[in-house]
Structure 1
Amino acid sequence: MNFGMEDGLAESHFIFNSYLKDQDGTIYFGCPGGFYSVDTKNYKKSDLIPNTVITKFDILGNESTESPSENFSLPIQGIGSSEKLELPYNSNNIAIEFSSLDFTAPNKNEYTYKLEGINDFWHHTKASNRNANYNDLPPGKYTFKVKSSNSDGVWNTTPTELSFVIAPPYWRSNLAYFIYIVLLAVFIYIAFLLVQRWYTLKKNLVAETISREKDNEINRMKMVFFTDISHELRTPLSLILGTIEKVVKEKKFTLSPLTSQRIYNNTLRMHRLINQIMDIRKFDEGKLKLRISKNDIVRDIRTIKNAFNDFARIYEIKYHFICNKEEIRGWYDVDIMEKILFNLLSNAFKHTLKKGK
């Protein structure tokens, strides 16, 4: 047990090894001005549990803000234990003072404190430092707890509490977060609409490009077809013109059966080519229909073959139709078959050299 001037001593300096204990248990200590006696029988340790109080709650000015605030104190007496202080976000530098209601030897009282929300361990301090400082506290809920002991080291295990809240800045408030979420949702929705519109425009552009390319290809194919048809028409027309010129020059205005047949075949060929041109429009309008009937395919092929006899004779091309049967009957469209065979034979004669086979 230690005793000092706070216990009633007038001297703080004692002579080394100057002490004595008598038979009654009284202890004597020598000092420059005399001696002190301590009757140990009369000493009794105080068991009184001290009450701990928070005496001051200071809000320190924040010089780092654009508008620095001044220091001010809040009245602790008007704050109930169930109430919470609400502080703005820029009042986050605080100082709390506390004390013990044991006045036997106040300088020998001890304290321990902590701030829940920042740390979970107790800070121990002496009576000479009865305050706690906290700087730059983030927004949140806090509870300050403090306990004290009397001059004889008896602790009050029930801490005194003070709760307070530091509100977040307006840009971090619940309303601000709600506005952020709404703006984000609007932005995402607008972005979705823009992407969807861009995709639709791109899709339409691709479809239009493909359609234009398809139309250009169809037009090119039509031009090729009409060019080929023109050449095909010129061949029978030349044959007919040659026959008529021969008749006019010889002044024989009667036609032999062979000449008549020749003119007829070439006229028939021209008629079929013109029908092919007409069928293109029907095909584009979806009006082209099949006319299937039962016919003799050998006879029809021979008729088509005879239409190219003059062409083969002029270019000295060996040209024959060989079939083991005189008649083969079947179901088919005569016009479609004639168009197919006329095209095949026309291309064959076109790419066959003179005196070929």
Structure 2
Amino acid sequence: MQTPDGVFHNYTIDHRNPRSQGGFVYALAEDRFGYIWIGTFGGGLQRINPSTGDFLYVPHGEKNGHVYPDSRIADLMFDSRKNLWIASPLGLYLLNNQQLADVKLNPESLEFVRFTTDSSEGGMSDNRISTIYEDRNGRIWIGTANGLNRMNSGNTSVDLHIDYVPKNPEKGLSHPGVTSILRDPNDDQVFWLGSENGLNRLRFSGDRVSGVQHYFDREGLPNSFICDILDDTSGNLWITTNKGMLRLNPSDTLMQNIRTYDTGDGLQSGEFTIRSGFRNAAGELFFGGINGFNRFFPDRVQENVHIPSVALTEYKQLGVTVYDALELSRISHIDIPYDARYFEFTFAALDFTYPNGNRFAYFLDGFDKNWSESGTRRFASYTNIGPGKYVFRLKAANSDGVWNEAGLAIPIVIRPPFWQTWWFRLIAVLAILGVLALIYQYRVEKLLELERMRVRIASDLHDDVGSSLTKISLYSDLLREEVDAENRQTLLSRINNLSRELVLTMSDIVWSIDSRNDTIGDLLDRMHDFAMSALSPRQIAVSFDVESLDDAKKLPVDIRQNLYLVFKEAINNVARHSGATEVRVALHNRQGRFTMQVHDNGQGIELAKKSSGHGLRNMQMRANRIGGELTIANSDGTTIQLNTTML
């Protein structure tokens, strides 16, 4: 304590004096007679006469039927009725003013009223009392380790509990441990509560809480552990925490204009102690901390009104520096490749009054919905931002919260991958349309091919089968009218031959359209089988010379059919009209040109052309269908050759 002559008086425990007990001093309070009451943690309740230095020790526990406060005192308070309230881990104690009027009181005769959770009516929410507060209406509020309590008007019981509700936090406190209580200096219906995790603003409607707001470090508090709350003569709140102090206008419920202070502003430490605040009659505020205490007149705290300029100092992509401060000052925008999934800006405010207290806010226009306040953190990072055009905006405030609202802005272009560009999408659309067109064209070609096949089959049926059936019908009519046995036998033989030819023709048509016979190997087997069946009965030798043909290669139906029918007609001519004894069949594929040659050693085509003219015309027609060239030559017999490039 400081005396008028500037000398500090130090009061210590005298172990030789039984009236002086030890323990850490946790609370001090002055009664109306000038005595100082001392609450210690371990040494109980004591009273000292500042003039004489005499101690009076109040016993603790129970003695001679009386209840005394616990030896661990957390808080002391004299209310407006001069009663002494005592907070301890074992409950709340009250000593009325009538007993305190006896200057020469006998401590063992004091009668304390104790309030606990076990009280018969209106008990406390928890015995661990942390703080005591009297509002302007004389109502006593009790902060405990498990919520807030209010005494009734007669101070006989608790008539209101406000608890921490974990599953519904907007209905109660932010934390059960209450550390400080203050009624709003401008609104009697509002109370401010400090807790071990968060600042609480409670609005009352009568005895009912009608609104609760919680504030944490994410709302701008230096720290969420609140140590004490005081108001100044201007109605501002001064709040100490475990990491600095802040000033708050109670009407600023959105915490938009709070001012924070730390060791750079002259605080003894960033960490304060619980219930260490005090405002004297002159309006000076005192707050105790782990390295001493701070005292100041709030209206004399000067603000820094300088609006700070703001600058970008570094830009990184994937942790690698791309631009330094000088380069950033020269460029008009930033190009970012699509695969730079992480980029970061570092920045600074050009105010050097207290640089560590400068604050920042940033906003990526086109991505963020709201400004992000980074506090004193000097960087902003983004991850996995999609391709597009953006603007990075930055503003800063000095240590007293004066913002440069203009700030700065730099355009950003994140390039899309090539598969997301308009030209790639156009090419892709055109490619898809092209594929669809090809598919459509392919299907049309298949339909046309099927139609052509139907026409060919109909034509073959009409030309070959129809002709044969007509002849059979004619011969049948003649047979019905013929009476001569020899002529009837001749007609029957002709009908029999035509029927056999008709069966073979139908077999050829079915074979040619069967997809199981669509390879060159299948065609060669069919040719060989037919040649052997047609020539062997006539004692005509046949040989095959096959060169550079892929047996597994598939042939279209029309090519396979026409090649086979040209070959078949050539073999039939040899068998019926040539008089040959030997036939050589050559099938070659050289330099993309296919040649089929049937050579016999017979009498030549001239001698037999009358009987085979229709067959030669058929061969020429079928050669034309597959884009081939048919030649017939007489040299040591007859050579029929077909050349085509369509194989």
Q: Does the 8 Å CA contact 1:81/1:161 hold for their aligned counterparts?
A: no
Distance in 1 (alpha carbons) for counterparts of 2:421 and 2:432 = 16
Query: 1:219-298 maps to which residues of 2 (within 5 A)?
Result: 219-232=468-481, 234=482
2:308 aligned partner? 50
Secondary structure of the residue aligned to 1:207 is: helix
1:87 aligned partner? 336
1:3 aligned partner? 261
Q: Does the 8 Å CA contact 1:58/1:72 hold for their aligned counterparts?
A: yes
Distance in 1 (alpha carbons) for counterparts of 2:373 and 2:383 = 19
Amino acid at match of 1:59: Q
Amino acid at match of 2:350: L
Amino acid at match of 2:351: D
Sort the Cα spacing of 1:104 and 1:80 in 2 relative to 1 into closer, same or farther, 3 A: closer
Secondary structure of the residue aligned to 1:114 is: strand
Shift of 1:56: 1.7
Q: Does the 8 Å CA contact 2:360/2:396 hold for their aligned counterparts?
A: yes
Distance in 2 (alpha carbons) for counterparts of 1:160 and 1:79 = 12
| Greater mean alpha carbon deviation, residues 79-88 or residues 162-171 | 79-88
1:203 aligned partner? 451
Sort the Cα spacing of 1:35 and 1:131 in 2 relative to 1 into closer, same or farther, 3 A: closer
Distance in 1 (alpha carbons) for counterparts of 2:310 and 2:300 = 28
Sort the Cα spacing of 1:43 and 1:59 in 2 relative to 1 into closer, same or farther, 3 A: same
Q: Select which of 154, 161, 170 maps to 2:409.
A: 161
Distance in 1 (alpha carbons) for counterparts of 2:416 and 2:422 = 9
Sort the Cα spacing of 1:169 and 1:199 in 2 relative to 1 into closer, same or farther, 3 A: same
Distance in 2 (alpha carbons) for counterparts of 1:50 and 1:157 = 10
Sort the Cα spacing of 1:31 and 1:176 in 2 relative to 1 into closer, same or farther, 3 A: closer
1:194 aligned partner? 442
1:251 aligned partner? none
Shift of 1:79: 4.4
Give the number of the structure with larger relative contact order, counting CA–CA contacts within 8 Å between residues 6 or more apart.
Answer: 1
| Greater mean alpha carbon deviation, residues 206-215 or residues 74-83 | 74-83
Sort the Cα spacing of 1:181 and 1:48 in 2 relative to 1 into closer, same or farther, 3 A: same
Give the TM-score taking structure 2 as reference length: 0.31
Secondary structure of the residue aligned to 1:165 is: strand
Q: Does the 8 Å CA contact 1:21/1:27 hold for their aligned counterparts?
A: yes
The superposition leaves residues 260-286 of structure 1 with CA deviations (integer Å, 9 ceiling, x where unpaired) of xxxxxxxxxxxxxxxxxxxxxxxxxxx
Distance in 1 (alpha carbons) for counterparts of 2:435 and 2:410 = 44
Confirm whether residue 38 of structure 1 aligns to residue 296 of structure 2.
yes
Largest Rg, 1 or 2: 1
The superposition leaves residues 19-54 of structure 1 with CA deviations (integer Å, 9 ceiling, x where unpaired) of 45343x444556787764423443344444333332
1:139 aligned partner? 387
Q: Does the 8 Å CA contact 1:139/1:165 hold for their aligned counterparts?
A: yes
1:126 aligned partner? 375
Sort the Cα spacing of 1:143 and 1:31 in 2 relative to 1 into closer, same or farther, 3 A: closer
2:280 aligned partner? 21
Q: Does the 8 Å CA contact 1:111/1:125 hold for their aligned counterparts?
A: yes
The superposition leaves residues 52-72 of structure 1 with CA deviations (integer Å, 9 ceiling, x where unpaired) of 3322211115xxxxxxxxx22
Consecutive unaligned residues of structure 1, counting only runs of 5 or more, are: 62-70, 239-357
Q: Does the 8 Å CA contact 2:268/2:289 hold for their aligned counterparts?
A: no
Greater fraction of residues in strand: 2
Shift of 1:201: 1.5
Sort the Cα spacing of 1:13 and 1:115 in 2 relative to 1 into closer, same or farther, 3 A: closer
Distance in 1 (alpha carbons) for counterparts of 2:335 and 2:457 = 67
Shift of 1:217: 3.6
1:306 aligned partner? none
Q: Does the 8 Å CA contact 2:312/2:328 hold for their aligned counterparts?
A: no
Greater fraction of residues in helix: 1
Shift of 1:117: 3.7
The count of aligned residue pairs is: 225
Confirm whether residue 108 of structure 1 aligns to residue 357 of structure 2.
yes
Distance in 1 (alpha carbons) for counterparts of 2:354 and 2:322 = 28
Amino acid at match of 2:335: E
Shift of 1:171: 4.4
Secondary structure of the residue aligned to 1:151 is: coil
Shift of 1:3: 3.5
Q: Does the 8 Å CA contact 1:59/1:95 hold for their aligned counterparts?
A: yes
Q: Does the 8 Å CA contact 2:285/2:298 hold for their aligned counterparts?
A: yes
Q: Select which of 180, 183, 188 maps to 2:428.
A: 180
1:66 aligned partner? none
Distance in 2 (alpha carbons) for counterparts of 1:231 and 1:106 = 127
Shift of 1:149: 2.7
Distance in 2 (alpha carbons) for counterparts of 1:194 and 1:171 = 29
Amino acid at match of 2:324: P
Sort the Cα spacing of 1:98 and 1:183 in 2 relative to 1 into closer, same or farther, 3 A: same
Shift of 1:18: 6.2
Shift of 1:206: 0.8
Amino acid at match of 1:21: N
Sort the Cα spacing of 1:210 and 1:187 in 2 relative to 1 into closer, same or farther, 3 A: same
Confirm whether residue 152 of structure 1 aligns to residue 411 of structure 2.
no
Give the TM-score taking structure 1 as reference length: 0.52
Shift of 1:81: 9.2
Distance in 1 (alpha carbons) for counterparts of 2:293 and 2:414 = 58
Secondary structure of the residue aligned to 2:400 is: coil
Q: Does the 8 Å CA contact 1:140/1:165 hold for their aligned counterparts?
A: yes
Distance in 2 (alpha carbons) for counterparts of 1:196 and 1:27 = 95
Secondary structure of the residue aligned to 1:143 is: strand
Shift of 1:92: 3.0
Confirm whether residue 96 of structure 1 aligns to residue 350 of structure 2.
no
Secondary structure of the residue aligned to 1:162 is: strand
Shift of 1:157: 3.3
1:308 aligned partner? none
Distance in 1 (alpha carbons) for counterparts of 2:415 and 2:408 = 23
Shift of 1:85: 1.3
Shift of 1:13: 5.8
Distance in 2 (alpha carbons) for counterparts of 1:171 and 1:30 = 64
Distance in 2 (alpha carbons) for counterparts of 1:134 and 1:105 = 28
Sort the Cα spacing of 1:211 and 1:159 in 2 relative to 1 into closer, same or farther, 3 A: farther
